[in-house]
């Protein structure tokens, strides 16, 4: 699996004291291990499984994905991908939807979204997964163990100084943050204010369909022009490191997690949501 540290560990980044003895990430070298051997297999699998995702999602049979995923070979512990959801605190009050069971905003779609996404990953790719619905705060050093983080409802997010410091180091050392489920100029302004505390020197850039992240596994020719609600046009932005790698992928005016949680509500949107997620994960693990 991809390792971003000078030490071999689980699929992630081992935190070090960057002020005194930080070593550059070893992304490319270590990626030639498990992922270098498996990426060709992943590319072959997409041709076979694309037909399955079209048939299964559009007919609404998520259970059939479970059957396929259970038939795939398993791998050893330590090579698996783990989906990590960010737990955060907010200072702005939410207006109206506190969501099911009055849960916190950061937990929107949890844990069904993760469970369904794991099922899709296992059925549509050869990527090994843990199936663990992991939750971490940004000031927890354990985030450096994982190359992929997911954060939602950032229109109400407030990041602390410690969290900003940890997230900055995580991103610069090769980590990937997927931002989801927010809309409107007010929510955008809050997100931009918070992320500027993390990487003030890096601009937000709008992505077009020709960006490699939309072609690294599933090959998107176009993206849907609507979100599940609000009659809003989804927009995709990114924050890049100095080498052009996407550190932060932003799904604005969109709710990809809803597509994972409710695969039969809007089948076209759900299919795109699963495919986008798989592309994001493949990109995060190979760049």
Mean pLDDT of the region 261-266: 90
Residue 3 has pLDDT above 60, yes or no: no
Closest listed residue to residue 11, CA positions, set 166, 142, 125: 142
Name the superfamily (CATH) of residues 27-91+105-286. Answer: Domain of unknown function DUF4159 (3.40.50.12140)
Q: Rounded to an integer, what distance in angstroms lies between the CA atom of residue 114 and that of residue 81?
A: 12
Helix (H) or strand (E) holding 136: strand 134-137
Mean pLDDT of the region 148-159: 97
Phi, psi of 85 (to 5 degrees): -95, 135
What pLDDT digit, counting tens, does each position of 57-105 carry?
444 445 444 444 444 444 444 679 999 999 998 755 544 344 445 679 9
Residue 183 has pLDDT above 70, yes or no: yes
Domain ranges, ordered by start, for the chain: 27-91+105-286
Helix (H) or strand (E) holding 284: helix 267-286
pLDDT (0 to 100) of residue 230: 77
Phi, psi of 271 (to 5 degrees): -60, -45
> Which residues are CB-contacts of 160 (< 8 A; sequence separation ≥ 6)?
89, 139
pLDDT (0 to 100) of residue 103: 75
* R_g of the chain computed on alpha carbons: 18
What pLDDT digit, counting tens, does each position of 115-143 carry?
999 999 999 999 999 999 999 999 999 99
> Which residues are CB-contacts of 96 (< 8 A; sequence separation ≥ 6)?
none
């Amino acid at each position: 699996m991809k390792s971003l540290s000078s030490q071999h560990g689980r699929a992630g980044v081992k935190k070090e004291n960057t002020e005194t003895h930080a070593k550059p990430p070893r992304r490319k070298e270590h990626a030639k291990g498990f992922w270098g051997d498996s990426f060709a297999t992943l590319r072959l699998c997409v041709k076979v499984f694309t037909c399955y995702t079209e048939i299964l999602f559009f007919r609404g049979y998520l259970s059939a994905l479970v059957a396929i995923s259970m038939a795939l070979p398993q791998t050893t512990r330590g090579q698996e991908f783990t989906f990590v959801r960010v737990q955060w605190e907010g200072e702005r009050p939410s207006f109206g939807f506190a969501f099911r069971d009055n849960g916190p905003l950061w937990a929107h779609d949890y844990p069904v979204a993760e469970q369904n996404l794991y099922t899709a990953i296992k059925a549509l790719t050869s990527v090994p997964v843990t199936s663990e619905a992991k939750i971490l705060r940004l000031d927890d050093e354990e985030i450096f163990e994982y190359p992929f983080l997911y954060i939602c409802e950032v229109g109400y997010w407030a990041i602390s100084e410690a969290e900003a410091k940890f997230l900055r180091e995580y991103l610069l050392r090769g980590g990937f943050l997927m931002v989801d489920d927010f809309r409107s100029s007010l929510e955008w302004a809050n997100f931009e204010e918070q992320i500027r505390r993390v990487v003030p020197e890096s601009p937000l850039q709008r992505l077009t369909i020709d960006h490699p992240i939309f072609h690294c596994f599933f090959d998107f020719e176009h993206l849907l022009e609507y979100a599940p609600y609000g009659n809003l046009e989804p927009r995709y932005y990114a924050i890049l490191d100095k080498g052009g790698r996407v550190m932060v992928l932003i799904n604005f005016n969109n709710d990809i997690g809803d597509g994972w949680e409710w695969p039969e509500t809007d089948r076209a949107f759900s299919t795109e949501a699963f495919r986008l997620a798989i592309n994001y994960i493949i990109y995060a693990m190979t760049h």
